[in-house]
């Protein structure tokens, strides 16, 4: 009988501890929307095509601005980005990405082959009248939200130059070879712990076939991984299935 009572008391204590833990845990966001990453992408639900065939037999980019919208990326879903530099679509020169998280966001080009730029005005690259006030490098940090522009460095000479001077400004992009891949890592930290990321995401850019030219200015973007830290899973009672 004494053993049963002890077991019941132990169970009640554990339940109270779990209840207290739940009360202290930040439940203000869910795993799917904690870190939001959005990009300007082509509207694949439209009846128009990314490339338009001219009556003379050659292709050109579809420059209808309404076909390119800022949309949140979904895991393992490949989306088509506006062409880099070569077209006048919203005057885009680079690949524009928007990040949101209730904390600190860090973007890193670990291979140092994607040059990043940003400003402090929460505006994408194409809205900047000049490059004044922009910061450049292979990493960028944001508080809660911000735009950054990704510039894949496809030319070896330019890549070497920018690696020597990551803060150098400029539109360094030159047309790439279809199939080339580039990766970015996005880490999300809570304000009280900037050492251990709560979420780690990997973005993949791929150079695609460009019907207007042999070399290409066309890219796809894909969110290929979205990992919640083991400790955060334990504290927030999250299972891997919720990520899918």
pLDDT average, residue stretch 22-43: 68
Q: Rounded CA gap, 198 and 173, in Å? A: 33
Return the pLDDT at 222: 97
Q: How far is CA 66 from its chain centroid?
A: 22
pLDDT tens digit string along 158-211?
899 999 999 888 777 777 889 999 999 999 999 988 888 999 999 999 999 999
pTM more than 0.85: no
Task: Compute CA distances 241 → 78, 119, 223, 226, 238, whole Å.
Answer: 21, 36, 17, 12, 8
CB contact at 8 A, 116 and 107: yes
Kindly give, in sequence order, each residue whose CB lies less than 8 Å from that of residue 166, ignoring residues fewer than 6 positions away: 112, 115, 136, 137, 138
What percentage of the chain exceeds 70 in pLDDT? 77
CB contact at 8 A, 217 and 83: yes
pLDDT tens digit string along 115-150?
999 887 777 877 776 666 788 999 999 999 999 999
For the stretch 14-22, contacts whose Cβ atoms lie closer than 8 Å and that sit 24 or more positions apart, written own/partner, are 21/235, 22/237
Tokens of 55: 């009556």
Q: Give me the residue spans of the domains in the chain.
A: 30-243
């Amino acid at each position: 009988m004494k053993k049963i009572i002890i077991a019941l008391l132990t169970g009640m204590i554990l339940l109270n501890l779990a209840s207290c833990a739940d009360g202290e845990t930040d439940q203000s966001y869910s795993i799917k929307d904690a870190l939001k990453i959005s990009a300007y992408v082509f509207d694949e639900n439209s009846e128009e095509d990314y490339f338009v065939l001219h009556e003379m037999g050659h292709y050109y980019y579809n420059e209808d601005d309404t076909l390119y919208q800022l949309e949140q990326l979904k895991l393992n879903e490949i989306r088509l980005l506006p062409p880099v530099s070569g077209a006048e679509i919203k005057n885009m020169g680079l690949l524009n990405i928007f990040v949101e998280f209730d904390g600190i966001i860090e973007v890193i080009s670990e291979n140092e082959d994607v040059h990043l730029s940003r400003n402090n005005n929460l505006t994408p690259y194409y809205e900047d009248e000049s490059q004044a006030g922009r910061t450049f490098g292979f990493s960028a940090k944001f508080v809660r939200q911000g735009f950054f522009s990704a510039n894949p460095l496809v030319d070896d000479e330019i890549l070497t130059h920018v690696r020597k001077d990551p803060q150098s400004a400029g539109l360094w992009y030159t047309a790439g070879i279809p199939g080339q891949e580039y990766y970015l890592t996005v880490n999300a930290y809570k304000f009280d712990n900037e050492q251990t990321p709560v979420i780690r995401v990997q973005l993949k850019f791929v150079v695609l076939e460009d019907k207007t030219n042999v070399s290409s200015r066309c890219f796809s973007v894909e969110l290929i991984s979205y990992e919640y830290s083991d400790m955060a899973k334990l504290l927030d009672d999250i299972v891997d299935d919720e990520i899918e």
